Amino acid sequence: MATIKRIAMVTGGMGGLGEAICIKLAKLGNTVVTTYSPSNTKVQKWLKAMNEQGYHFYAYPCDVTDFESCQACIRKMTEDLGPVDVLVNNAGITRDMTFKKMDKINWDAVMHANLDSCFNMTKQVCDGMMDRGWGRVINISSVNGQKGAFGQTNYSAAKAGMHGFTKALALEVARKGVTVNTISPGYIGTSMVMAIPKEVLDSKIIPQIPMGRLGKPEEVAGLVAYLASEEAAFVTGANIAINGGQHMQ
């Protein structure tokens, strides 16, 4: 789909879904950059493994919950490679518990990582996209931001907030050639989901999915690639569900 070589930044690109997104964007000819937590000690090992598979990725340390860290990350990356054309806000965490048990620490941690990070990263690249007349911002939300989930008031609120951010920003930048969209995956076979006990997956989660299976990271990555392409220039402010029919709107 990519006819012009672009620079794509994927936050949290070393996980299952993030890695699949990085690979797909690279296959389409983009220069792909990911962020990683400053405490991550496996970066070089991951980069080496990807390089052995034929993917030459760039990685920069960044705490997506911290505005100044994001500022420094994008500044250094831009000096090295050039400005970001495609931003995929993929980084996120869960801290699941009922609201009765939830404390401020676990509320704040999820809001900072999943919602504040969208502001922190997008703020660094959006003006440049508008100045150049082309840009893609793709926010990875969740089916649970659409329908809610037991034990996830923090996560559901943050993921729903991402789409509110998408819609408002899309209105502001539409005439400048920049699109802003949300993708809301259902249960995808990533390490985060596979950490759920098998009996819970088999008895409670998969039966809710009409397709009768978990999604594949590559399926979400394909949707990201479309939204990052030239062909998606008329799609903006959208929230595209990819959940096997679990939640339909």
Neighbours of 212 (CB within 10 A): 10
CA–CA gap between residue 242 and residue 90 (Å, rounded): 15
C-beta of residue 177 within 8 angstroms of C-beta of residue 4: no
Q: Output the six-digit token pair for 61.
A: 């340390």
60, 155, 187, 226: which one is catalytic?
155
Q: What is the largest CA-CA distance in the chain?
A: 52
Nearest to 232 by CA among 185, 183, 188: 183
Question: What residue type is assigned to position 52 of the chain?
Answer: E
Consecutive H or E run containing 80? helix 67-81
83, containing H or E segment: none
Contact 138, 227 (CB under 8 A): yes
Q: Tokens 């920069």 identify what position?
A: 60
* Residue 58 appears among annotated catalytic residues: no
Catalytic sites, residue numbers: 155
